[in-house]
Structure 1
Amino acid sequence: MHLLCRGRVKLLVASFTAVILLTWLYLLAGNLENGRSLLLAPCLADTPAAQVLDRAVLESRVREEGNYGNQQWGASADTGPEDVENTAEEKNGNSNHTECPRAPSVQKCESILFHRRNPLHFHFITDTVAHRILSILFQSWMVPSVRVSFYDADELKSEVSWIPNKHYSGIYGLMKLTLTKALPSNLSKVIVLDTDITFATDIAELWGIFQKFTDKQVIGLVENQSDWYLGNLWKNHKPWPALGRGFNTGVILLYLERLRRLRWEQMWRLTAERELMSMLSTSLADQDIFNAFIKQNPVLVHQLPCFWNVQLSDHTRSEQCYTEVSDLKVIHWNSPKKLRVKNKHVEFFRNLYLTFLEYDGNLLRRELFGCPSQATPESVRLQASLEDLDEDDQCYDFRRERVTVHRVHLYFLQYEYTPTKDDITLVAQLSMDRLQMLEAICKHWEGPISLALYMSDAEAQQFLRYAQASEVLKNRKNVGYHLVYKEGQFYPVNLVRNVALRNANTPYVFLADVDFLPMYGLYDYLRRAVVQLDMAHTKKALVVPAFETLRYRLSFPKSKAELLSMLDMGTLYTFRYHVWTKGHAPTNYAKWRTATTPYKVEWESDFEPYVVVRRDCPEYDQRFVGFGWNKVSHIMELDAQEYDLMVLPNAFMIHMPHAPSFDISKFRSSPSYRNCLGTLKDEFHQDLSRKYGSAALKYLTAQRNI
């Protein structure tokens, strides 16, 4: 089965498309059998759709700006489309499959999560950014019986870029017209969906409607539930021609094989060219062209019952499509206002959507009952890594964290920034309890920021609401938010840091922590420093001296002189001087007080400064989780790679007070935690020696002398 989604595309919102598709997967993905497609009839004939009705919600993150995703049902050998579409496939002649076990009877309101019977194959037509976001998302979510293919949107834009379009979806709103060319020729049928769609039933039931097509029908659509195509909504309102009320293209069944035989590409072009002579542009993008084509060729359309596209724009007749919950099949947020529509049942629809968003996405990873699923290379590697672990090892939980695959959603919010030659990104990570620091950091650092957020699915929605309500955050488009979803017993601090580091797009990065505020003007100062110190051609790590205050309200120093005065008065302290002096002692604060030029310092055991380095620096070692040695190990490897540690004379950052983290409490209270951390340190030293040879022996010697 093939599904295609349409929405308004901005490429940096592409990650939201993937959320939709995965929402689908939660409820609708199926099992592979022997690597072949499972036709719906043999595997689902004994599972009436009425029995599998549940709050199965396929929702694209419903925002003002949508995106495209392409999703396929069934598993073909090779198939694919887009950041605009969603496809599902059924191969012709696939009758030699092994019989699936009969699905158990499912109660009407029971979740269909564990009763999916068909594999999914998503096909995305994407630009390079959307490709990256979606590929990481699918790889890290590791949903069983799901395949993904990608295709280059730039190769298709010329097919529709000549059509003037007033719809907010822009050029991507016309992409559905290209599907016979975009999708592989071996795909015979496809379901096309807008990304502002919520499913309330098993999509297999919708796929089954293809069997009701006559020999001539090629397109399945629901009638438009507004009066748009009837005209006269306002003075001089003149819609494109349509058959009666016209059809809404938020949900389409396309019989690709027949469309190709009809020479669809030539037919829609002729229709568009003819109508544009008088209409001049489209108002509803592809929907106008589809409707004009159908008016000329009504025999080609199969009208779907309206509950397959319950349209929630403000002035529709959608309430005629349902009388109770069991009537609902597909909910379409087709108003530009999305969740703020005036439908009298909007609270029910909104709650359905929001409830699903807060479900634990790890449930998607559970294997399906019924037909055996086909293991992916990622799942095979993960299983092999788990089997190599010794469950009797007292540090088993720590070692298991190292092989845990966390779900990742890059660019959770819109990001728009083009870096300059000597640009610097502030890189940091945080959890929900540090969220209050974001606004302050944005006020202190005007440059780009890459933040990795370690949160549960429910917390991610809280963060979304927080960011949308914050005037400071919603006006900053140069902050990349990357979600790493919670799993396991420990905070995977270095893994989360690495997600933020990998997704910085500037030549240099400032590796910081979110509970520090940079001095005002630090961004510009560091940009000058990387040029003056020839960072592009030398291995240097620029140390930004760290200080702290115990006061929740601080009159932040505006200069080095003011900071030194506050240091002398006891308002500020050198960072962790009273609990962990070794962490920053090599910075040599006494020298810094009078320094006017950068000065080099030597590595010492347990040194963990905050530094500016080139983006191609070593990543953090992910064996270190929770509290302890996570930054120390990173600075040690920088030193092993012969980075010069240069302290900047006119830079500083200040740590703001907060409650102790859960992980530091575990470290302080648990002897086994501390013992395992010691074991991990020893193993890190051994690995460092193997990697860097005799030059790394000094680290082992330094550790033994502690």
Structure 2
Amino acid sequence: FSEVSWIPNKHYSGIYGLMKLTLTKALPSDLSKVIVLDTDITFATDIAELWGIFRKFTDKQVIGLVENQSDWYLGNLWKNHKPWPALGRGFNTGVILLYLERLRRIGWEQMWRLTAERELMSMLSTSLADQDIFNAFIKQNPVLVHQLPCFWNVQLSDHTRSEQCYTEVSDLKVIHWNSPKKLRVKNKHVEFFRNLYLTFLEYDGNLLRRELFGCPSQASPDSVQLQTALEELDEDDQCYDFRRERLTVHRVHLYFLQYEYTPTEDDTDITLVAQLSMDRLQMLEAICKHWEGPISLALYMSDAEAQQFLRYAQASEVLKNRKNVGYHIVYKEGQFYPVNLVRNVALKNANTPYVFLTDVDFLPMYGLYDYLRKSVVQLDMAHAKKALVVPAFETLRYRLSFPKSKAELLSMLDMGSLYTFRYHVWPKGHAPTNYAKWRTATTPYKVEWEPDFEPYVVVRRDCPEYDQRFVGFGWNKVSHIMELDAQEYDLMVLPNAFMIHMPHAPSFDISKFRSSSSYRNCLNTLKDEFHQDLSRKYGSAALKYLTAQRNM
């Protein structure tokens, strides 16, 4: 920053628009060439072709650029328009080939500084950031520039006058939306380019990974290991698809939207951790209203769905104003929902000492964030292995007057507008919480693990990860609680905490589980294997899980 902060700049990119000038110094000294791209660039070809142009440079050429396609540097856009000096129409710096090795040799750092200092005496500030300084430098040293064909930077802005480049559309290689208005520019070709851009955004990124013959590069140790693991799978195994799913390497985009988090001074902060897909998106605003603390969400989506989510988040006043929510996209691949892999992405990217492991279709009680932070101190979580259980309830009503207190919740429970979670279909999942005791409890109480227990808990961030063999529906949370118990975490139920499950249509995966006997058989096989692995890992302490499983 200090290298360029002295330059007055009127461009909307601010100081960031000047950073390209510093690359000879900012990048490693042994890096000889670099391609520099603006973020509003769309490639319609293989970037390897652009790298190949370095070979066409003469011995003296150090910078590769496309001519500016607007009249800006001609100085005739309006009365008294006075641009920085440039060679003819000047050059656009949205796509730059920099021969760093040669630039360092000719003293680029001193040369651009002298150019900027000299011009600023009369110009007072830059209008187009680094582009003005590059052009003033090239005007003085034209022999140093290699002019690229226009199709390597087809520029779209209100000021674009040149039609020449658009005539050879079949040869188009790079689209540059060089305007703060981006897709809304007044250009007669904008619809054509807009359609190209939107097609690119909705393209399934997994298809780009599936080229049958890639570059003849050295295979990485990870890809060799993956290939070996795939070869070891038995294709005749009834559960082949489940096992293969565990080996799938998903594309992940961490921090898909802007994220800001300031750690608290008292080291008690808690991140709400959850995962979701497109069909649960409507829960986000409500969760943000119920939980003011940091949130880490992993979203399982296709490329096109990620774009829909982006538009949804940008249009929502609630989501737009919450910067302490980390959104991480796990891109869809395979035939099962890799629920525990997605959960682990959210868990690993929580930035607080503690995490509240929940599901996105639950609304925490108002004030739960503060109550949990106090409980962390009260139960000395920093020095003890504890999992704080937040009792779960449910409503079958889509419109619910959310209880403001435990007393109000108990009254709704008695009136039948609320139930203990899964009371009708899966009581074992939450029975050990001991709701009868919770009704009158005023202090946290310990409960024992029982088979199929799957409460929602607050734990230290360094807790075990979820077991990724469990995909789709079934046993994904049960296995995690079992491992917490195997590691001797005390399960402590909080007397004044609650969360409520909101109704929604059943997921695709639960429908598959219910309708497919082979799905259910494979889940049982995976359970058995998980038990065996647990026994190997924790020895005799894990025998009780195997015994409990056999007695069921």
Q: Report the TM-score, using the length of structure 1 for normalisation.
A: 0.74
Pick one of 484, 508, 528 that aligns with 1:662: 508
When residues 705 and 331 of structure 1 are mapped into structure 2, their CA distance, relative to the original with a 3 A threshold, is same
Q: Distance in 1 between matches of 2:442 and 2:57?
A: 80
Q: Residue 401 and residue 308 in structure 1: after superposition, are their counterparts in 2 closer, same or farther (change >3 A)?
A: closer
Which region of structure 1 is more displaced relative to structure 2, 394-403 or 581-590? 394-403
- Measured after TM superposition, the shift of residue 180 of structure 1 is 2.7
Task: Tell me, in whole angstroms, the C-alpha distance in 2 between the residues paired with 1:220 and 1:407.
Answer: 33
Q: 2 CA distance for matches of 1:538 and 1:635?
A: 17
Deviation at 1:577, TM superposition (A): 0.7
1:231 Cα shift? 4.4
Find the aligned partners of 1:204 and 1:627 in 2 and give their Cα distance: 43
Matches within 5 A, 1:279-428: 279-323=123-167, 325-369=169-213, 372-421=216-265, 424-428=270-274
Distance 1:263 1:338 in 2: 36
Q: Give the match's secondary structure for 1:324.
A: helix
Deviates more, 1:527-536 or 1:202-211: 202-211
Contact 2:275 2:297 survives alignment (8 Å): yes
- Matched residue SS, 2:16: helix
The structural deviation recorded for 1:444 is: 1.2
Instruction: Give deviations 1:550-606, integer Å, cap 9, x for gaps.
Output: 111111111111111111110000000111111101111111111112111111111
Change in CA separation of 1:549 and 1:626 when aligned onto 2, cut-off 3 Å: same
1:347-384: CA deviations, max 9, x gaps? 22121111112222122223453863421222111101
1:436 match: secondary structure: helix
Q: Which stretch has the larger CA shift, 244-253 or 348-357? A: 244-253
The answer on whether the counterparts of 1:450 and 1:503 sit within 8 Å (CA) in structure 2 is yes
Given the superposition, is the C-alpha separation of residues 515 and 225 from structure 1 closer, same or farther in structure 2, using an over 3 Å criterion?
same
Q: Is this contact kept in 2: 1:422–1:531, CA < 8 A? A: no
CA distance in structure 1 between the partners assigned to 2:513 and 2:50 by the alignment: 54
- Alpha-carbon distance, 1:622 to partner: 0.7
Could you say if the C-alpha distance between residues 327 and 669 of structure 1 is closer, same or farther in structure 2, counting changes exceeding 3 Å?
closer
Q: Shift of the alpha carbon at 1:184? A: 4.6
Give me the whole-angstrom Cα distance separating, in 2, the residues matched to 1:431 and 1:286: 41
Change (3 A) 1:239 1:678: same
Pair 1:667–1:183, CA change in 2 (3 A): same
Q: In structure 2, how many angstroms separate the alpha carbons of the residues matched to 1:430 and 1:649?
A: 28
Residues in 1 aligned to 2:36 and 2:435: alpha-carbon distance in whole angstroms: 63
Contact 1:493 1:626 in 2 (8 A): yes
Distance 1:614 1:165, change over 3 A: farther
3-state DSSP class of the match of 1:630?
coil
SS of the residue aligned with 1:326? helix
Percent identity over paired residues: 96
Q: What is the distance in 2 between the residues matched to 1:398 and 1:599?
A: 38
Contact 1:218 1:300 (8 Å CA) reproduced: yes
Q: Check 1:641–1:237 CA distance in 2 against 1; reply closer, same or farther (3 A cut).
A: farther
How far is the alpha carbon of 1:624 from its aligned partner? 0.8
- Given that 1:306 and 1:321 are in contact with CA atoms closer than 8 Å, whether structure 2 keeps it comes out as yes
**Contact kept in structure 1, 2:156 and 2:179, CA below 8 Å:** yes
Q: 379-388 vs 660-669, which deviates more?
A: 660-669
Select which of 160, 163, 177 maps to 2:4: 160
Q: Indicate whether 1:586 and 2:429 are aligned.
A: no
CA distance in 1, matches of 2:161, 2:318: 40
Indicate yes or no: 2:494 matched with 1:648. yes
- Using a 3 Å threshold, how does the CA distance of structure 1 residues 241 and 664 change in structure 2: closer, same or farther? same
Preserved contact between residue 72 and residue 159 of structure 2 (Cα < 8 Å): no
Identify if the C-alpha distance between structure 1 residues 338 and 687 changes in structure 2 by more than 3 Å, giving closer, same or farther. Answer: same
CA spacing shift, 1:400–1:262, aligned 2, 3 Å: same
Structure 2 CA distance for partners of 1:214 and 1:487, relative to 1, 3 Å: closer
Is the contact between residue 473 and residue 513 of structure 2 (CA under 8 Å) also seen in structure 1? yes
Alignment pair present for 1:260 and 2:104: yes
**Per-residue Cα deviation, 1:486-541 (whole angstroms, up to 9, x for no partner):** 11121111110000000011111110001111111111211222122221221111
Question: Is residue 242–residue 292 contact of structure 1 (8 Å, CA) maintained in 2?
Answer: yes
Note the 1:222-621 alignment, pairs <5 A. 222-231=66-75, 238-323=82-167, 325-369=169-213, 372-421=216-265, 424-621=270-467
Alpha carbons of structure 1 residues 327 and 678: separation in structure 2 relative to 1, 3 Å:
closer
Do the aligned partners of 1:546 and 1:610 also contact (CA within 8 Å) in 2?
yes
Q: What is the deviation of 1:676?
A: 1.4
Specify whether residues 599 and 202 from structure 1 end up closer, same or farther in structure 2 by C-alpha distance, changes over 3 A only.
closer
* Cα 1:685–1:207 shift into 2, 3 Å: closer
Q: Retained in 2: the 8 A contact 1:547–1:574?
A: yes
Q: Which shows bigger deviation, 577-586 or 212-221?
A: 212-221
Q: What's the CA shift for 1:674?
A: 1.5
Across the aligned residues of Structure 1 and Structure 2, the Cα RMSD in angstroms comes to 2.2
Q: Could you tell me whether the CA contact under 8 Å between 1:422 and 1:527 is conserved in 2?
A: no
Contact 1:421–1:507 at 8 Å: present in 2 too? no
Does the Cα contact within 8 Å between 2:300 and 2:332 map onto a contact in 1?
A: yes
Does the 8 Å contact 1:575/1:584 carry over to 2?
Answer: yes
8 Å Cα contact 1:312/1:318 also seen in 2:
no
Unaligned runs of 5+ in 1: 1-157
CA distance in structure 2 between the aligned counterparts of 1:165 and 1:638, rounded to whole angstroms: 56
Q: Tell me, which stretches of 5 or more residues in structure 2 are unaligned?
A: none
CA distance in 2: counterparts of 1:355 and 1:551, whole angstroms: 40
Give yes or no for contact 2:62–2:145 (8 Å, CA) kept in 1.
yes
